[in-house]
Amino acid sequence: MSRLILHVDLDAFYASVEQRDHPEWRGRPLVVGAEPGQRGVVATCSYEARRFGVHSAMPIAQAVRRLPPETIYVRPSMARYAKVSQQVMGVLETVSPVVERVSIDEAYLDVSGLTSLVGPPAIIGAQVKARIRQAVGLTASVGIGPNRLIAKLASDVQKPDGLTVVPPEQVGDFLAPMPFTVLRGIGVKTAPRLERLGVKTIGDVRQLPLETLRQHLGARTGIQVYQQARGLADDRIDPARPRQSISRETTFPEDVSDPRILEETLRWAAQEVGSIARQTRHLGRVVTLKIRFHPFETHTRSRTLKVPTADDAALFGAAWSLFAAEPWSGRPVRLIGLGISGWSATDGGVQMDLFETAAPEPCPEHDRLAATLDAIRNRFGADAIQRGLSRRSPG
Ligand code: DCP
Ligand code: MG
C-alpha cells in the first residue's frame, strides 16, 4: 500500500501577504525586495509581475526596467511573514498530526490515514486549501502523490492556487516529460554528465540501464536517480526530523560581480536563516558560506564560532569574512548563500516546537536582542526597526 503525501506551498508568499494587507495593491504588479535605485535583488513578486518575466533573485534594477510604472515596490517584513507562516503551520496541524515544515511557506503532510475520514485525495487537498484561505486569506498550491518527490513536483505544476493529485499508476506519465534536473541529487557535477549522454527528460533517464547511471554518476547517485526516474522516493514525513543545517542561497539569473549585491544577498540569507533558527530554537557553531562561479564551480568555506548563535549579524559577519578571505573578488558569481549547523549541546540538535508563537528563551545577549527585534517587528510590522547591519539600513 502506498502512502499519501501532500505538499503545500503558498503562492507568491511575501507578495501575497502584502496584497492581502493592502487591498489597493491587489491585481497589480508588486515586488518585495530591494529598493528600486539601490543594489539588491527581488525576494519575490506577485503573479501580475511575473508576467513581465520578473522572478526571485533578479537584480532589482533589471526588474524595474521590465515592469510598468504602476508597479508597487515593498521592502520585506520578515517577522510579519514568519507570523503568517506559523499560523499556516498551525492550520496544517489541524488537518494531520504528521506535518513537516520545510521552509517558510512549504510543508509536507502524511495524509494516508485521512481517506476514510475525509474522502479521496482531491477532497483532502481542497480542504487544506480552504482552511488556509479561511485562516489567513492566502492561496496555496497543493500536490498529492505517493511520496515527497511526486507531491512536491505536483504542487508546482498548476501554480498559483493549484491542486494536483498524482495517483500511483499515473506517476510514470507525470514524470516522463519533465526535465531531469528536477530530480534530487542532480547537482553541479551530475547535470553535465547526463547532458553529455543526450538526456533531457526524466523519460530519457528511464531509458538508461542502471549500470550506465552508476558508471556516470557513481553508485549512490546512480541508484538514486534510477529509482526517482521511476517515481520511487522517500515517503517518510517526520514532524521532529532533526535538521542537520538551516541554509538559504540564491542563484542569480545573471552572474553578479558587484560586491554590494553579493553583500545584500548574504544579509538576506542571514536574516532568513537566523529567523528560522530562532523560531526553531537552534543555536549553531558552524557557519558555512557557499559560492558558485559559472558554470558549476562550487566552493564552500566554514568557520566554527566560539559561541553558538542564531543571530543575523553574527551569521552574516562570519560568512562575509569567509568571502573576503578568498581571492574571489571581482569574479562573477552565479550563486551565493550561507548556512548554519553544528548545533550546540544545550539544544542537543533536537528541534523544539516548530510552531511555537512565543519568543525564544533568551540566551546569549545577541540572541536576546534578535528575539526582541523579532517581537517588535511582529508587533509593529514592516520596517519598524532595523539592525545596524540590516540590508535596509541607510547607506
Ligand atoms: N524568497 C526569497 N528569495 C528567493 C526565493 C524565495 O526571499 N531567492 C522568499 C520569498 C518568497 C518565499 O521565500 O515569497 C517563498 O519562496 P517560494 O520559492 O515558495 O516563492 P513564492 O512563494 O514567492 O512563489 P511561488 O508561488 O512560486 O511559490
Ligand atoms: Mg511559495
Query: Do residues 376 and 385 lie in contact, with contact meaning Cβ atoms separated by under 8 Å?
Result: yes
Domain 14-77 coded CATH 3.50.50.60: no
Would you tell me which CATH number, out of the four given (3.40.630.30, 3.30.1490.100, 3.30.2290.10, 3.40.50.300), belongs to the domain 245-384? 3.30.1490.100
What pLDDT is recorded for position 384?
Answer: 38
> If we measure between CA atoms, which residue out of 159, 200, 160 comes closest to residue 180?
200
- Neighbour tally for 361: CB within 10 Å: 11
Q: Indicate the SS3 state at residue 222.
A: helix
- Could you list the residues known to form a binding site for Mg(2+), using ranges: 9, 105
Residue 163 Cα, ligand 2 centroid: separation in angstroms?
A: 14
Residue 272 Cα, ligand 1 centroid: separation in angstroms?
A: 12
Query: Do residues 180 and 200 lie in contact, with contact meaning Cβ atoms separated by under 8 Å?
Result: yes
User: Which class would CATH give 185-227?
Assistant: mainly alpha
Residue whose CB lies within 8 A of the most ligand 1 atoms, among 17, 42, 45, 105, for a mutation test: 105
In DSSP notation, 340-374 reads EEEE-TTTTT----TT--SPPPP-SHHHHHHHHHH
What pLDDT is recorded for position 375?
Answer: 53
Contacts of 361 (CB under 8 A, 6+ apart): 281
Return the CATH fold of 5-11+79-172.
Answer: Alpha-Beta Plaits (3.30.70)
Q: Is 72 in the pocket of ligand 1 (CB under 6 A)?
A: no
**Which atom of ligand 1 is the closest one to the Cα of 57?**
8
What pLDDT is recorded for position 239?
Answer: 81
Q: Is 250 in the pocket of ligand 1 (CB under 6 A)?
A: yes
264 included as an active-site residue = no
Q: Indicate the SS3 state at residue 248.
A: strand
Q: Is 81 in the pocket of ligand 1 (CB under 6 A)?
A: no
> If we measure between CA atoms, which residue out of 330, 200, 311 comes closest to residue 262?
330
| β partners of residue 33 | 42
The domains of the chain are located at 5-11+79-172, 14-77, 185-227, 245-384
| β partners of residue 74 | 32
Q: Is 57 in the pocket of ligand 1 (CB under 6 A)?
A: yes
What does each of the 395 residues of the chain score in pLDDT, given as a tens digit? 789 999 999 999 999 999 999 999 999 999 999 889 888 889 999 999 999 999 998 999 999 999 999 999 999 888 899 889 989 999 999 999 899 988 889 999 999 999 999 999 999 999 999 999 999 999 999 999 999 999 999 999 999 999 999 999 999 999 999 999 999 988 777 899 999 999 999 999 999 999 999 999 999 999 999 999 999 999 999 887 767 888 988 888 889 988 888 998 999 899 889 988 887 788 999 999 999 998 788 899 999 999 999 999 999 999 999 998 888 777 999 999 999 999 885 443 333 333 333 333 334 445 555 655 555 544 443 333 333 323 332 22
What pLDDT is recorded for position 168?
Answer: 97
Contacts of 254 (CB under 8 A, 6+ apart): 59, 62
Cβ burial of 240 (10 Å; 0-12, 13-18, 19+) is exposed
In DSSP notation, 146-202 reads SSHHHHHHHHHHT-SS-EEE--GGGHHHHHTTSBGGGSTT--TTHHHHHHHTT--BH
| β partners of residue 299 | 291
> If we measure between CA atoms, which residue out of 252, 280, 250 comes closest to residue 361?
280
Query: CA 218 from chain center: how many Å?
Result: 28
Query: Do residues 4 and 115 lie in contact, with contact meaning Cβ atoms separated by under 8 Å?
Result: yes
Residue 43 Cα, ligand 1 centroid: separation in angstroms?
A: 7
What pLDDT is recorded for position 201?
Answer: 97
Marked catalytic residue, from 106, 249, 264, 272: 106
Residue 322 Cα, ligand 2 centroid: separation in angstroms?
A: 30
What pLDDT is recorded for position 253?
Answer: 83
Cell numbers 515593498: residue:
74
- Could you list the residues known to form a binding site, using ranges: 9, 105
Q: Is 45 in the pocket of ligand 1 (CB under 6 A)?
A: no
